[in-house]
Amino acid sequence: MLARNSFPASLVLDPFRPTGPQGEERYRYRAGTGLFTVLTLLGVGLLVVSAVGWAVDSHQFYFSYLVGWTFCLSITLGALFFVLVQHLTKARWVVTVRRIPEVLMWSFPLLAVLFIPILFGMHDLYHWTHEELYDPTGPAYDEIVAGKRVYLNTPFWILRVVFYFVIWILISHKLYRLSLRQDVEADREIPAQQRKVSAWGTPLFAITTAFASYDLLMSLDPHWFSTIFGVYFFGGSFLSALSLIALVGLTLQQRGGMLRKTITAEHYHDLGKLMFGFTVFWAYIAFSQYMLIWYGNIPEETIWYEHRLEHGWGYHSAALLLLHFVLPFLILLPRATKRTPALLAIMCVWLLIMQWFDLHWLAMPVLHVDHAGFHWLDFSCWLGLFCIYLGVFGWRLSRHPLVPQNDPYLADSLHFQNA
């Protein structure tokens, strides 16, 4: 059995120092950060190339950048919820997996910095920022948009986004620091503190995530509104986070055998079950939103779907249904899929691609109403941001033990078996 003694504080500061007993050593990330350095450099290079596209077509650049940035944000929000709910429910099986989403959720400061280009592109992205819409004597006056000016105005919008990030950083910082403190202190009060943070953090997470989805994505078309959109965004976010958590675990095990004896087929089985469940949840919310708008038949709502069913966007809508729901549903349904590393890894990558495709489908018809398709900036911005995101994630992951130490449920997690 692995020892549950804590690591010395000096060991946490020096991740490459020999750990002594081999039972503790396999908890540590010791393969270096070479892969993640390459990813970071690749991401920077892709964003430099994207900057050339900005000089040619700034409208396309800002929309492509927003989709890529929101993709990274959705994963981080999903990882934060994963940690919150595990502490609230006192989940035992997840302890050996938990450090991966803990590191993912600490990406909010990076995302706050990467948000700056979106501020410069607000006029290109958000129609409601155009002052001529609010002049009742002008030809461009829009009564619907003007009626929303109290909420949709640039200073208040920026203030809200800052508030969202303050809340997200505060919650993730508290949980992350408590987890690292537990690595070096065998304090039985730490799990109780983590649950307290999660208790007040969860409702704040729910509110800020919903309103952030409205502000960042739904307000791209200020005429449209949907009370279920925040839940839709959350469903895709949590599904993509689950996919990346499982993919990172599988990748680390393939690169040097790290975590091979701590994250087992039993853990991947549960992650796979959650992936399957939230594939169904995402589809259920997507259909519910469509059905409510269909039978409500309000022009400001139905026009949003009309734009996604005409001029070639209908093929994208059909692909979203088949590739984001039907195919993953059928593949993830069998037990064998969730316990076959190669197949599960393929599904993780596939669902991450589908999350980006979903966000692209949400945003791009606003820019290209009359024709559907992809622009090379869509891929360069998305992959550039995601590579930087993964690079910074890998650097932070290398600084601390891969498995939380001194957790009272660690032994249960190490010996977890599905019923």
DSSP track, 102-167: HHHHTTHHHHHHHTHHHHHTHHHH-GGG-GGGG-TTSTT--HHHHTTTTTS-HHHHHHHHHHHHHH
Cα 21 to Cα 2: distance, rounded to the nearest angstrom: 10
- Using one digit for the tens of pLDDT, what is the confidence trace for 108-136? 999 999 999 999 999 999 999 999 999 88
Residues 6+ apart with CB under 8 A from 302: 293, 294
328-361 residues labelled b (16+ CB within 10 A) or e (exposed): beebbeeeebbbbeebbbebbebbbebbbbbbbb
pLDDT digits (tens, 9 = 90+) for 403-416: 888 888 899 999 88
Supply φ then ψ for residue 137, to 5 degrees. -95, -5
Is the distance from CB of 33 to CB of 398 less than 8 angstroms? Answer: yes
Computed over every residue of the chain, the mean pLDDT equals 89
Give the model confidence (pLDDT) of 43-55 as tens digits.
999 999 999 999 9
- Are 253 and 319 in contact, with CB atoms under 8 Å apart? no
Q: Supply 418's token pair.
A: 């599905």
Contact 351, 240 (CB under 8 A): yes
State how far Cα 153 lies from the chain centre.
Answer: 26
375 Cβ contact list (under 8 Å, min separation 6) = 60, 64
Q: Give the CA angle between residues 411, 414, 417 to the nearest 5°.
A: 115
**With bands split at pLDDT 50, 70 and 90, how would you rate the model's confidence at 163?**
very high
Q: Look-up: residue for tokens 């500061």?
A: 13
The two tokens of residue 220 are: 């791209």
Res 10 pLDDT > 50:
no
Quick one: pLDDT at residue 256?
Answer: 66
Q: Based on the number of CB atoms within 10 Å of its own CB, is 62 exposed (0-12), middle (13-18) or buried (19 or more)?
A: buried
DSSP state of 220: G
Mean per-residue pLDDT, 281-304: 92
Pinpoint the alpha helices (H) of 322-375: 327-332, 335-338, 341-367
Residues near 24 by Cβ (< 8 Å), separated by ≥ 6?
2, 3, 5, 7
Which pLDDT score, from 0 to 100, does residue 34 have? 76
Q: How far is 357 from 320, CA to CA, in rounded Å?
A: 8
**Residue-wise pLDDT tens digits, 63-113:** 999 999 999 999 999 999 999 999 999 999 999 999 999 999 999 999 999
Structure tokens given for 82: 């994963």
CA distance 66 to 217: 9
CA 352, chain centre distance (Å)? 9
Cα 240 to chain centroid distance, Å, stands at 6
CA–CA separation, 350 and 97 (whole Å): 21
**pLDDT of amino acid 24:** 42
What dihedral angle (degrees, nearest 10) is formed by the CA atoms of 10, 13, 15, 21?
Answer: 20
Kindly indicate the confidence band of residue 253, based on its pLDDT and cuts at 50, 70 and 90.
Answer: confident
368/60 Cα distance (integer angstroms)? 9
323 pLDDT exceeds 80? yes
181-240 pLDDT, tens digit per residue, is: 998 888 889 999 999 999 999 999 999 999 999 999 999 999 998 999 999 999 999 999
pLDDT at 276 over 80: yes
Amino acid at 159: L
Q: What are phi and psi of 228, to 5 degrees?
A: -105, 0
CA distances from residue 371 to 217, 321, 364 in whole angstroms, order as listed: 20, 20, 10
- Alpha carbon distances (Å) from 67 to 37, 226, 395, 400: 24, 19, 24, 31
Per-residue pLDDT averaged across 34-51, rounded?
A: 91
List, in sequence order, every beta strand (DSSP E) within 217-276.
none
Long-range contacts of residues 333-341, Cβ cutoff 8 Å, at least 24 apart: 333/276, 335/269, 337/272, 338/268, 338/269, 338/271, 338/272, 338/273, 338/276, 339/265, 339/268, 339/269, 339/272, 341/250, 341/253, 341/268
For residue 246, how many C-alpha atoms fall within 13 Å in the half-sphere facing its CB? 34
